[in-house]
Amino acid sequence: MNSEAPLLLRGGTVLTLDPRALVLPGADVLVVDGRIRHVGSFPDAPPGTRVLDVSGTLVLPGLIQGHLHLGQTFFRGLAEGRRLLAWLRERIWPLEAAHDDESAYWCALLGAAECLLGGTTTIQDIGIGPGAGGLLRAIADSGLRAFAGPCLMDSGVTLPDALKGETDRVLADAEALGPRFHGSGNGLLRFALNPRFILTCSDPLWEGIRDLSLRHGWPVHTHALEQRDETAAVRELKGGRDEVEYFADQGLLAADLRLAHGVWLTAGHLERARTARWSVVHCPSSNLKLGSGIADLLAIRGAGVPVGLGCDGAACSNHLDNLDEVRLAALLQKVKHGPDAFSGLDALRLATSDGARALGLQDEVGSIEPGKAADLLVLSLHRPELWAAPQVDPHDLVAFGASRASVRHVVVAGRVLVEDGRLTHLDLHEIVRQSSLHLAALIRRSGLSI
Ligand SMILES: [Zn+2]
């Protein structure tokens, strides 16, 4: 039950991102009990309604990030200049192995604060091993809508022992954590099963995860087809099969499977998508920075696979600014397919309506329509980067010009979590202070000489 007073956003230009992609100048959005009650003209607000004057702004659905590692926020800049497998082995795994509950809590809260300040309202986080409980607590405290769970691993020759759980224990712990955290954070946190990727999960672990997913209805969120060296290593380990072939044999394509990256998806893989239930989350900054490649979003979308968007993690993309990912995603498809192939609206949908479909939340978020959750992003048109002729399509204006500096208010489930560019419910100064203390101790624990 949402105890917030009704909220009226008065007089903004609303971009609905619904199937019609309406642009409604001077519109009001009335929010009651955390849901959008009315969009249009609403002169008489109910008694007790909080009214926010949003004239001179664009009002959009809150942004959705379908792939994140909030547990890596501390590691920004600590693993530069490496390809994926070296990046993991030399830096990320030893650092993640050194997390405890408290370091994970502040690390995730720091990342959540960055997400909120950039207009993100829903995340799907792939978790960590040690410290997973702290990370889940932080996500629940952040006010974000989220899919989250521990990162599941039980094998891998270069994986530190601290990350390598015993298979039955990993499954039992996940099954115990699920009911504990599912529904926490005022009902906004949903539990997910997060096997890291094929190279760190044994056959029995994948089988157990598939069974847990089918039994509890928890989605499966993992990495796949990010880099060609990764797929080559998968083929070597799995008798010549690549990621999608392996998932098909394991029955995972029948689960609710969400693949981060999918850079190297082929036409053959996409043909399988017609009878399966999976989605892809595109992470353009991460794919460029680790030298992974450019995913073919037109082909993936053309096969009917929902495509979302994410920043991946601060350790690879260095920022958690989803508006920047929107811009980059569009630019990359234009390089690949030509300048008319991917519009500003196409790009914005990755972080809104299509991003919601990728997470199975299309009935809940991703567009501004009565009945949906009141997850809203308000961008100031008084910022220089959003000044343009009135004839300009506002979807293009946002997709190619907006940045987190344009963010004025952010609302999740009817709560104003960012107001005039500032967090209302989190103490950023304290988060930064705690983060500095806990990161220094974590680096000492990791044994790395950095
Ligand atoms: Zn990732």
Cα 312 to ligand 1 centre (Å): 5
Average pLDDT of the chain is: 96
Query: Do residues 128 and 104 lie in contact, with contact meaning Cβ atoms separated by under 8 Å?
Result: yes
Q: Binning pLDDT at 50, 70 and 90, where does residue 171 land? A: very high
Please state, in angstroms and rounded to a whole number, the distance separating the CA atoms of residues 122 and 120.
6
Cα 198 to ligand 1 centre (Å): 13
State residue 158's pLDDT score: 85
Least confident of 41-55, 189-203, 431-445: 41-55
Cα 260 to ligand 1 centre (Å): 7
- Contacts by residues 164-171 (CB-CB < 8 Å, ≥ 24 positions apart): 164/200, 165/129, 167/202, 167/204, 167/205, 167/208, 168/208, 170/205, 170/208, 171/205, 171/208, 171/209, 171/212
Cα 67 to ligand 1 centre (Å): 6
Cα 68 to ligand 1 centre (Å): 6
Q: Binning pLDDT at 50, 70 and 90, where does residue 157 land? A: confident
State residue 1's pLDDT score: 46
Cα 441 to ligand 1 centre (Å): 24
Cα 39 to ligand 1 centre (Å): 36
Cα 227 to ligand 1 centre (Å): 12
Q: Binning pLDDT at 50, 70 and 90, where does residue 17 land? A: very high
Helix (H) or strand (E) holding 442: helix 428-446
Please state, in angstroms and rounded to a whole number, the distance separating the CA atoms of residues 304 and 316.
29
Average confidence (pLDDT) over 326-335: 98
Q: Binning pLDDT at 50, 70 and 90, where does residue 276 land? A: confident
Burial of 338 (0-12, 13-18, 19+ CB in 10 A): exposed
Pairing, β 23-32 against β 7-15: antiparallel
Q: What is the DSSP string of 95-115?
A: HHHT--HHHHHHHHHHHHHHH
Cα 251 to ligand 1 centre (Å): 23
Cα 223 to ligand 1 centre (Å): 6
Alpha-carbon Rg for the chain, nearest whole angstrom, is 21
Cα 261 to ligand 1 centre (Å): 8
State residue 273's pLDDT score: 82
Cα 16 to ligand 1 centre (Å): 30
Cα 350 to ligand 1 centre (Å): 17
State residue 3's pLDDT score: 67
Cα 69 to ligand 1 centre (Å): 6
Cα 190 to ligand 1 centre (Å): 19
Cα 153 to ligand 1 centre (Å): 14
State residue 43's pLDDT score: 82
Q: Binning pLDDT at 50, 70 and 90, where does residue 2 land? A: low
Residue type, 226: E
Least confident of 22-31, 234-243, 273-282, 284-293: 273-282
